[in-house]
Chains A and B, each alone.
Chain A
Amino acid sequence: MRFFDRWRYEARRAGRATLLAPWLVTALLAAGATLAARTAGNGAIPRTLLSAVEMAIPLVVGVSAASLVGRDPAVELQLAMPAGYRGTLLRRWAVTVAASALLAAGLCGGLMASGWWARWPRTHGVLLGQLTWAAPVCWLAGLGLLAGAVLRGPAAAATVVTAPWLLEQLLPDQLQAHQWSRLLYLFATTGGRDADWGPNRFVLLASSVPLAAGAWLLLGQTQRLLGGETG
């Protein structure tokens, strides 16, 4: 099987619905924002789109990444193939992340071109502004893959991804009270302090590397991949 065939196959294996999930979630949020604009004013639409970029899309990526391990019906067969199963999973993971990254980058571009981006006080230019989505996407994608590799059950792994996301949604003020939690805060653009934005994005990106590396190591242990719960 050629290099491009493998990528094309994994894109199909990831599933059209999974690849379209970030689009669906963003469309639902945009529809809600359009309704909300009636009562909350026009600012609701750019605010919601920015929330989609920094909050919703990263959650979609994280939960999708958490659902990769344990869903292949014939892992034994996959493990016996010349193409390593770890590589297969990582390709599927990269396709899932890339589909969401494409949408997030497009949304950022649209917000910048329309002038809505500048209406939000905490924005950081064309290139740096892309870190609005890139940092939480990488962090939750890394966490999702690691949780999937450790727990081998999509339900438990998705809960591990959703827990910090939910905690940061519910306790934004308490998490802004400490330097360490400000640096790990996923929603620094929409809810953090301006001074911490750069270091926060850097820490999130940097900490996603060990998360993904941990997953890479665990996925290499063939015996761990056998007998996981499917779902």
Chain B
Amino acid sequence: MTAALRYELRMQLRRPDLWSVTAVTVVLLWLLTARSLPIFLSEDPRTAMIRAIIICNVPLPIGYAFLLADRLVRDERLGVAALLDATPSSRPGRLLGKYLGCAAATALPVATIYFGFSAVYTIRNGAPQALSWALAMFATITVPALLFVGAVSLCGPLVMPTAVFRVLFVGYWMWSSYLVPPKLVPTLTQTVIYPMGGYPIQVFFGYRGGHASGGSDWAGPVPGALFNALRPAPTVATAWLSIAVIVGLAALTLSAAHLVCERRTR
């Protein structure tokens, strides 16, 4: 597993596409935040960091998913999957190593962009606590989301063409984002499987409002909406449950991918 992780990490970091996608998403983020950036910089550290992570979590996981989408199917296309199967390494270990290596390398630009903003904020405002907030938010909001998106992106193209997966992922990400009001459209927003981390945002960091769909809650039931069974009241326990469910879904997706690969080899 460790060898696969190391190799995949290096391979992904040396891939020109990683840096092209990062450049495009940086331009996109700049265009999205050009007006609100001065406002972010003048807010208190916690609010500034949470707003930055909310904005980053719309476009960055899309580029991240695009980059990971071809990693697993690539082995089969290049004809090295059968060759790797003949080595003494275990298939689950290789899959896990590939997943963690690719995901870590692709998450590096995401982390650099977010912590870059935190560093600018800290230097400009002389508020080192911003970095602690940024670290806590990245660990509880972005990391579970990236683990889930990474697993789905590695496995989705096993059952459909990569281009189709990329389009469906954009649709899924927009549909399950805070941009869609759950009252009007059946969506995963504010549920425990909401991948943008509504429960940690509201419970751990006490953030409300700033919702593009007009509401102020990030987690919990919405009167009259579908899927309210997945929206327990926001508490510390349900926030941890939300993180556990998202990471669990990532593990489940990877297990499914392992089964699909096993079946194809037979």
Interface string of A20-63 (1 = CB under 8 A from B): 01001100110010011011100010000000000010011001
Greatest chain A CB density within 10 A among B27, B164, B171 is at: B164
Q: Is the interface of B mostly helix, strand, loop or mixed?
A: helix
Distance in angstroms between the alpha carbons of A29 and B170 in the assembled complex? 13
Complex Cα spacing A21 to B27, Å: 29
Q: Which of A64, A156, A169, A230 sits near B163, CB closer than 8 Å?
A: A64
Our count of residue pairs bridging A and B at CB distance below 8 angstroms stands at: 123
Determine, out of B1-9, B61-69, B192-200, B202-210, the stretch whose residues face the partner at the interface. Answer: B61-69
Q: Which residues of B contact A60 (CB under 8 A)?
A: 167
Question: Shortest Cβ distance from A124 into chain B, in angstroms?
Answer: 26
Indicate which residue in A36, A44, A63, A163 contacts B27 across the interface (CB closer than 8 Å): A163
B153-184 with Cβ < 8 A to chain A: 160-164, 166-168, 170-171, 174-175, 179, 183-184
Q: Which of B35, B161, B170, B224 contacts A162 (CB 8 A)?
A: B170
Point out the residue from A28, A39, A73, A165 that lies within 8 Å of B225, measured CB to CB: A39
Q: Tally A residues with Cβ within 8 Å of B.
A: 43
Check B32–A167 contact: CB distance below 8 A: yes
Contact A35 B186 (CB under 8 A): yes
Decide: A40 and B185 in contact? CB cutoff 8 A: yes
Chain A residue nearest to B185 (CB atoms) is A36
A residues 117-159 with Cβ under 8 Å of B? 151, 153-156, 158-159
Residues of A within 8 A of B212 (CB): 170
A63 near B163: Cβ-Cβ < 8 Å: yes
Q: Is B253 an interface residue (CB 8 A)?
A: no
Residues on B facing A (Cβ under 8 Å): 15-17, 20-21, 24-25, 27-28, 31-32, 35, 58-59, 62-63, 66-67, 69-70, 74, 77-78, 160-164, 166-168, 170-171, 174-175, 179, 183-186, 212, 224-226
Partner-B contacts on A (CB < 8 A): 15, 17-18, 21, 24-25, 28-29, 32, 35-36, 38-40, 44, 56, 59-60, 63-64, 66-67, 73, 151, 153-156, 158-160, 162-163, 165-167, 169-171, 174, 229-231
